[in-house]
């Protein structure tokens, strides 16, 4: 909004020229989202505690220490993230850019789905929540609508890493593939969210990586030099990544061990959906598998566990997702979280390296 209001006046008022720069607005988005979380976070947590006397229902089959430590902690803290992200985006992003609205639609819609899921869990005092099939169906419908809309303004192609300007035209498979990308990313983050600070820091790392990728693919100078596809207007997503980073850091202030609040599905589904949509727009879907490799590992651990048990009656891991496996092995929660953060950072750096190794 500030860009749309103030940038046109830059020719008359020199200082307003700052609003034309992506870097300035990205910095503004980071600080705005973070400050909003700092200001409203305590009030949101108090409100959630008042309405959730028992806190988030914890899986009874989990580690006993986990059940005791987490009992009574309120959930739905993702609302804090969405508030910071949404307000910051509306303030600093170009609201005439269709990619901004694509990410906003997916993020807020998936956040609403997560909110319903969290609400049902709290009111029913059960960890089951929303029907899995219903949740996936609604997510696929939203993702498919956004992918179909984007196919009209963005080439329905897939870019391969390690290859300069090599694009595969997906044709009729574009929308189904993008549904898998968005819904898969959303639920991968959801599965990772199980320990204090475990999901939010890798999300911040991934958002930082995609902020850089967005800036690069939206600039013809960098795309020609690196041999990556140019996507006109994609640079604006750097502001949204900045808003995610700021909101994530603000939330982490309250989610750091011992957590005062959990993001719940309200936050995890929304954050994953945002990252998946950004990967779609910037044509870095495959690179996202590397950058978000921690989320992929967590998801694969669940798939392997379920498949192995159904086929052989045996479990590969002591418990899935992967972070619970290490809890069962006796690792301390901070040890698991920090080591997973390190893995997420290494994978993000490898993903960014694909920009040059072409």
Does residue 358 fall inside a structural domain? no
Share of the chain above pLDDT 90, in %: 70
- The residue range of the domain holding 268 is 2-353
Does residue 321 fall inside a structural domain? yes
**pLDDT at position 68, please?**
47
Give the chain's domain count: 1
Does residue 294 fall inside a structural domain? yes
Q: Is the pLDDT of residue 126 over 70?
A: no
Does residue 257 fall inside a structural domain? yes
* Residue 24, CA atoms < 13 Å, CB-side half-sphere: 10
User: If you average pLDDT over residues 104-133, what whole number do you get?
Assistant: 85
User: If you average pLDDT over residues 292-296, what whole number do you get?
Assistant: 96
Q: What whole-number distance in Å separates Cα of residue 286 and Cα of residue 267?
A: 23
* pTM higher than 0.95: no
Q: Is the pLDDT of residue 27 over 90?
A: yes
Poorest-pLDDT segment among 99-103, 164-168, 224-228:
164-168
Q: Apex CA 323: angle with CA 318 and CA 326, to 5°?
A: 50
Backbone angles phi, psi at 261, to 5 degrees: -160, 150
Question: pLDDT grade, residue 16 (50/70/90)?
Answer: confident
Does residue 295 fall inside a structural domain? yes
Angle formed by the axes of helices 333-353 and 200-217, to 10°? 10
**pLDDT at position 208, please?**
98
Question: pLDDT grade, residue 54 (50/70/90)?
Answer: low
Q: What whole-number distance in Å separates Cα of residue 31 and Cα of residue 353?
A: 28
């Amino acid at each position: 909004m500030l860009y749309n209001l103030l940038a046109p006046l830059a020719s008359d008022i020199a200082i307003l020229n700052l609003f034309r720069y992506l870097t300035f607005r990205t910095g503004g988005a980071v600080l705005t989202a973070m400050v909003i979380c700092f200001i409203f976070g305590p009030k949101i947590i108090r409100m959630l505690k008042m309405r959730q006397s028992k806190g988030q229902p914890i899986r009874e089959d989990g580690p006993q220490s986990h059940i005791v430590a987490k009992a009574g902690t309120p959930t739905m803290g993702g609302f804090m993230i969405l508030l910071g992200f949404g307000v910051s985006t509306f303030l600093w992003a170009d609201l005439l850019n269709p990619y901004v609205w694509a990410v906003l639609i997916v993020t807020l819609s998936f956040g609403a789905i997560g909110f319903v899921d969290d609400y049902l869990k709290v009111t029913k005092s059960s960890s089951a929540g929303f029907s899995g099939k219903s949740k996936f169906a609604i997510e696929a419908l939203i993702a498919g609508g956004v992918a179909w809309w984007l196919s009209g303004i963005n080439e329905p192609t897939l870019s391969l890493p390690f290859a300069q300007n090599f694009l595969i035209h997906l044709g009729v498979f574009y929308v189904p593939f993008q549904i898998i990308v968005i819904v898969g990313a959303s639920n991968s983050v959801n599965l990772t969210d199980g320990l204090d600070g475990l999901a939010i820091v890798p999300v911040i790392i991934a958002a930082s990586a995609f902020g850089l990728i967005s800036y690069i693919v939206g600039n013809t100078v960098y795309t020609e030099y690196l041999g990556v596809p140019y996507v006109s207007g994609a640079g604006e997503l750097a502001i949204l990544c900045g808003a995610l980073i700021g909101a994530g850091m603000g939330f982490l202030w309250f989610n750091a061990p011992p957590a005062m609040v959990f993001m719940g599905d309200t936050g995890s589904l929304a954050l994953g959906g945002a990252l998946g949509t950004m990967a779609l727009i910037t044509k870095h879907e495959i690179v996202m598998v590397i950058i978000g490799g921690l989320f992929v590992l967590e998801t694969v651990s669940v798939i392997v566990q379920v498949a192995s048990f159904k086929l052989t009656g045996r479990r590969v891991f002591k418990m899935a997702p992967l972070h619970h496996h290490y809890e069962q092995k006796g690792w301390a929660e901070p040890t698991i979280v920090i080591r997973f953060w390190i893995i997420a950072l290494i994978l993000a750096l490898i993903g960014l390296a694909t920009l040059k190794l072409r």
